[in-house]
Structure 1
Amino acid sequence: MELRDEINKQQQQKVVEEVIEKLSPPSSIRHLHMEGYFGSRLPNWMMAPDTCILKSLRLLKMDKLHCSTQLPNGLCLLPSLESLIINNAPTIRSVGPEFQSPSPLAVGGIITASSVVAFPNLATLRLAGLCEWEEWVWEEQGEDVTVDAMAMPALKVLEIINCKLSCVPPGLASSRRHALREVHLYKLSNLTYIDNFPSVVELQVFDCPELRRISNLSKLQKIEISYCPNMEVLGGVSSLDSMEMEDGTMETIPEYVTTVRPRYLKLTCSKELYESLLTGSSSEYDKISHIKSRTICAEDKD
């Protein structure tokens, strides 16, 4: 029965792949949404480096790619793409440099790779539900590469949800990346540090149990840290204005709070810690006494 089911699945996948291969969209298309595709590979018109067929595409959203094992390689050459959203691709484990680095062959072998800007107009990148994703290979480009020539030079908002990445790749967390304003990281079970985002003004981290360090975000103004119990270091955030922390199991205030001076703090903690802070004279209260504007709440377990 298992063998028959597997054969049927493979036959169905082959049919789906053949059909979608014939559904190449017109070059004038601006928005494309693919949902529930269960082929093992994406169509050639999406995977091929020659992506001029999608030259007008501004929004690409792909949902429920349950059998696809890699992201399309040719998307980085789309000249008009502004928003890329990929949801629920549980069989992708690694994203290689080809995703964000066009090769000379990708542009006909005439133009050198360094002169081709990858994702030149991409402003929003959302990768969610790649639950087995562990590796993103993307090294920072050399000093001889100008900011305008780096991959995703226009990226403003980055959102990564539910994966196993242990760090944000150096090519993305680059000291020369100046357009990126917002970073949202939710449920990254293996994430250990966030470092070197010089232009980010808003950072949200939620349910990252291995996260220990956030540093070198010199323009950061607002930070939200929720359910990251092992956080130890928050440094290089001299512009911080607003800080929100939430963890209903929090019984003591982390020491790193004493090293920052935001104008405002919102703290949601356990009932026991909340009652201790209300006295205004405990050692825990001393950790936040230097922050003049505060809102303190106890999490309602009901």
Structure 2
Amino acid sequence: MAMVPYYHVDRLEPEDAWSLLRNQVVRNGNNDDQKVDTLKDIGMEIIAKCDGLPLAVKVMGGLLQQKRIWRRDWEYVLNYSIWSVSQMPEELNYAIYLSYQDLHRSLKSCFLHYALLPKGNVFMENSVVSMWISEGFVHGNSCDLEVLGKEYYAQLIARNLIEPDPWARDQEICNMHDVVRSFAHYVARDEALIAHKSEARQTNMLDSQNVVRLSLETKESESNRLEWSSLQAYTSLRTLILVGQIKINQGDSLVLFPCLRILSIEGGSFDALSKSLVQLKHLRYLSIRGTDTSKLPEDIAKMKFLQHINLVGCDHLEKLPGAIVKLQQLRFLGLNETSIYNIPRGFNGLTNLRKLYDFPVHMFGNWCSLEELGPLNQLMHLDIFGLKNVHSPSFAIKARLGEKVHLSNLSLQCVGGEGDDQQLVKEEGHQKIEKVFDELCPPSCIEDLKIQGYFSKRLPRWMTSAAIATLGSLRILMMVDLPYCTEQPDDLCQLPSLEILIIDSALAIKSVGPELLPQSAMENFGPGLQIQMAACPVLERISNLPKLQELRINSCPKLKVLEGFPALQRLVLEDYNMRTLPEYLQDINPRHLDIDCDVSLLTSIAKGKSSPEWDKFSHIKQVRAYADDDDNNIERKWYVKYTRHPFSFRTNISPSANASGKLTPPLLIRCTLTEYLSYSSKYLIT
């Protein structure tokens, strides 16, 4: 097992370390700032034991956040005997060990299991929690397992043992720091074998009978692939995670793993193993995402303990076996990015389903229709596509969405399905989909709502100002691909929990303004709203939203007016076709401006004060601008970073880069204001 050395990591200055520790303890806005400050002396001693390492300080902050802000509790942490444990390798960190020992037993198991996941591969929170449930780490009432598992996941985040991906929404994706991962591998070394990339062929590092969890990631060429037969000695496995290509020969099967509860295979071949799936009598979790799978066994009902089936990205898979409707324990079914456009009848018997992704609406033949969703009252997450196929609102009524009191995430898509096209829809089509959507009113508990491919001219009745207050728990509203709709949801002040509004590819919306949040009711709406407008080709104005804190604009080329945002904290612009920065930047003053553009515009920005763009952004406190290196497929390689006070201007683009964006070797510019003014007068050429 490769350890991650600490010697290359910069140590924090004591006051910076205290600020980091303190912010971790009070980050939930618990108004305990002054109480924490009275314990600074103990905090500084804990920081000293962390050797000023940022990760260790963050982990200790996460641990202290779980404790009472009492001197006695902090002193207990300071004097904990684990600080002097001598068994661990020097490369590992005692702060992580201390945080780990503070976890209750089930959470320790969840933490170690998370470290099995290959670094750099995306595992959504849903999948992670399902794995924990399948292994028996989450204890509680069967109805509440996903809720409890999500709480475990949140605790690992709070303790900084896993960290949310900054580009993912709602903490759905997390990463684990290399040092934390190495610690977890060390703790689990007697029963888990983790071999990634070049190590994957070394599958004989432990006594095979002791290994109950095996995680392999292969990056081998076709001629040097790991062979399936090399795994046959690991007959005690409960978890098997494989990412990448593996060589499967005739006669290979899954029968060698009778104890398996979790099977996760990503990419590569699986069809040859499919027929032996039913031999895994104890399997709870099956994920074969992105494999070449074209069929599942017709006798899949023999796998009566199956709880989780993830088929995402299996684009060769065209149908589900009819017996799938007999899997009474099934809680999760993911059909995204498959070629499955119909579901066998009898689906309404799967009353344990909690999460259903990409349910295809099929209204003819011996297939499941929209009404079969009616009895599935345990659903927490539901994606429906192909709603254009529903020819009568009566089917929508029978789906009984409003009665699903556990449903927090809902996606309604008009388009999608076999032979789908984007042809213009006639007037009668508009009226039909309006009537169907009017009967698909979500329950009041809905938190995350997405409407996609909606081709009516008006919004559903339950999104009008007269009815929208019934969605009082809504936090995220996303509307994507609205070719005809000229309306936008109004009176959003009636949604006190709303945090994010995204309108993407709304081809007919020209302005966004106070109708979203009427001034007369603004005091009822909490701060912190984020709005994102993307690919709206005729959008001209966004104005008069006095409590808006974050605005994201992506490819809205006709936008000319941006005004009336006194509370705006962050503006994000993303448009790789921009040739110059928009003039409206001079009319607003956000605290932060983030820009993603092409290299030629970034090169102009990098000229600083002598750039024609300077007056558009120089009044903003902090600016971060980025461009990709398309030649080498590196995202955000080039940057300009500017701070108004205290002055700082940094870029890794040489001033001699030409207007076409062909860059000379990077030149890093770091300077004081005096140095910058001198530099710009000599070298930055307009």
TM-score, normalised to structure 1, is: 0.70
- Which letter maps to 2:500? E
- Does the 8 A contact of 1:36 with 1:63 survive in 2? yes
Cα gap change, 1:275 to 1:60, in 2 (>3 Å): closer
Cα distance per residue 1:182-222 (max 9 Å; x no partner): 12222222232333245562222222211222234333322
Does 1:257 find its partner at 2:585?
A: yes
The answer to which structure, 1 or 2, has the higher relative contact order (CA under 8 A, 6+ apart) is 1
1:268 is matched with: 596
Report how far residue 155 of structure 1 moved.
0.6
Question: Which residue of structure 2 lines up, in the alignment, with residue 44 of structure 1?
Answer: 371
Does residue 56 of the first structure (1) align with residue 378 of the second (2)? yes
Counterpart-to-counterpart distance in 1, 2:411 and 2:489: 21
Distance 2:392 2:545 in 1: 31
Contact preservation (8 Å) 1:76, 1:100 = no
**What is the rounded CA distance, in whole Å, between the counterparts of 2:562 and 2:358 in structure 1?**
40
- In the TM superposition, residue 257 of structure 1 has moved relative to its aligned partner by 1.3
Q: Distance in 2 between matches of 1:57 and 1:267?
A: 39
Residues 560 and 582 of structure 2 are in contact (CA less than 8 Å); yes or no, is this contact kept in structure 1? yes
Conservation of the 8 A alpha-carbon contact between 2:457 and 2:486: no
Residues 134-155 of structure 1 deviation map (CA, whole Å, 9 limit, x = unaligned): 431433118xxxx8xx221111
How far apart are the structure 1 equivalents of 2:510 and 2:493? 19
Partner of 2:481, secondary structure, is strand
Which one of 622, 641, 650 corresponds to residue 293 of structure 1? Answer: 622
The structure 2 residue matched to 1:162, chosen from 467, 475, 481, is: 481
2:239 maps to what in 1? none
Work out whether residues 220 and 239 of structure 1, in 8 Å CA contact, stay in contact via their aligned partners in 2.
yes
Indicate how the Cα distance of structure 1 residues 97 and 234 shifts in structure 2: closer, same or farther if over 3 A, else same: farther
Structure 1 contact 38–66 (Cα < 8 Å) conserved = no
Q: CA deviation at 1:126?
A: 1.7
Query: What is the root-mean-square deviation of aligned Cα atoms in Å?
Result: 3.6
Residues 226, 301 of structure 1: alpha-carbon distance in 2 compared, 3 angstrom cutoff = farther
What pairs with 1:1-302 in structure 2 (closer than 5 Å)? 20=345, 22-25=346-349, 29-33=353-357, 35-39=359-363, 42-46=369-373, 53-64=375-386, 67-68=389-390, 72-73=396-397, 74-87=400-413, 89=415, 93=430, 95-96=433-434, 99=437, 119-128=443-452, 130=453, 132-138=455-461, 139-141=464-466, 150-170=469-489, 173-195=491-513, 196-197=516-517, 198-199=525-526, 201-277=529-605, 278-298=607-627, 300=629, 302=631
Q: CA deviation at 1:275?
A: 3.5
Distance in 2 (CA, whole Å) between partners of 1:190 and 1:70 is: 27
Q: CA deviation at 1:287?
A: 1.4
Q: CA offset at residue 292 of structure 1?
A: 2.5
Where do 5+ consecutive residues of structure 1 fail to align? 1-15, 103-116
Q: Which is greater in Rg?
A: 2
CA separation of 1:248 and 1:17: change in aligned 2, threshold 3 A: closer
Q: Output the amino acid matched with 1:174.
A: L
Deviation at 1:168, TM superposition (A): 4.8
Q: What SS does the aligned partner of 1:219 have?
A: coil
Give the counterpart letter for 1:188 in structure 2.
A
| CA pair 97-180 structure 1, distance change in 2 beyond 3 A | farther
SS of match in other structure, 1:135: coil
* Unaligned runs of at least 5 residues, structure 2: 1-340, 421-428, 518-524, 632-686
Letter in 2 for 1:293: Q
* Contact 2:543 2:565 (8 Å CA) reproduced: yes
User: Could you tell me which residue of structure 1 aligns to residue 150 of structure 2?
Assistant: none
Mean CA deviation greater in 235-244 or 66-75: 66-75
Q: Which has the higher helix share?
A: 2
Aligned equivalents of 2:343, 2:603: Cα separation in 1: 64
Inter-CA distance 69–301: structure 2 relative to 1 (3 Å threshold): farther
Cα distance in 2 for partners of 1:153, 1:237 equals 25
Q: Report the 3-state secondary structure (helix = DSSP H, G, I; strand = E; otherwise coil) of the residue aligned with 1:287.
A: helix
Give the TM-score of the pair, scaled to structure 2.
0.33
Task: Quickly say closer, same or farther: Cα 1:290–1:118, change in 2 above 3 A.
Answer: same
Structure 2 CA distance, aligned partners of 1:137 and 1:63?
Answer: 17
Counterpart amino acid of 1:285? W
Q: Cα 1:226–1:273, aligned 2, differ >3 Å: closer, same or farther? A: same
Q: 1:268 to 1:298 in 2, by over 3 A?
A: same
Q: Which residue of 1 aligns with 2:665?
A: none
Q: Deviations over 1:235-269 (max 9, x none)?
A: 33222112111222212322221121111112233
Q: Read off the aligned partner of 2:578 and give its amino acid letter.
A: M
1:220 touches 1:240 (CA, 8 Å); kept in 2? yes
Alpha-carbon spacing, 1:216–1:101, altered in 2? closer, same or farther (3 Å): farther
Paired with 1:194 and 1:97, the residues of 2 have a C-alpha distance of: 26
Q: Does structure 2 retain, via aligned residues, the 8 Å contact 1:100–1:118?
A: no
Q: In structure 2, what residue type is equivalent to 1:68?
A: V
Q: Distance in 2 between matches of 1:18 and 1:224?
A: 38
TM-aligned CA deviation for residue 34 of structure 1: 5.3
- Tell me the CA shift for residue 286 of structure 1: 0.6
Percent identity of equivalent pairs: 23
Q: In the aligned structure 2, how far is the partner of 1:70 from the partner of 1:214?
A: 37
The 3-state SS of whatever aligns with 1:96 is helix
The one-letter code sitting in structure 2 at the alignment partner of 1:67 is N
Q: Partners in 2 of 1:18 and 1:101 — Cα distance?
A: 22
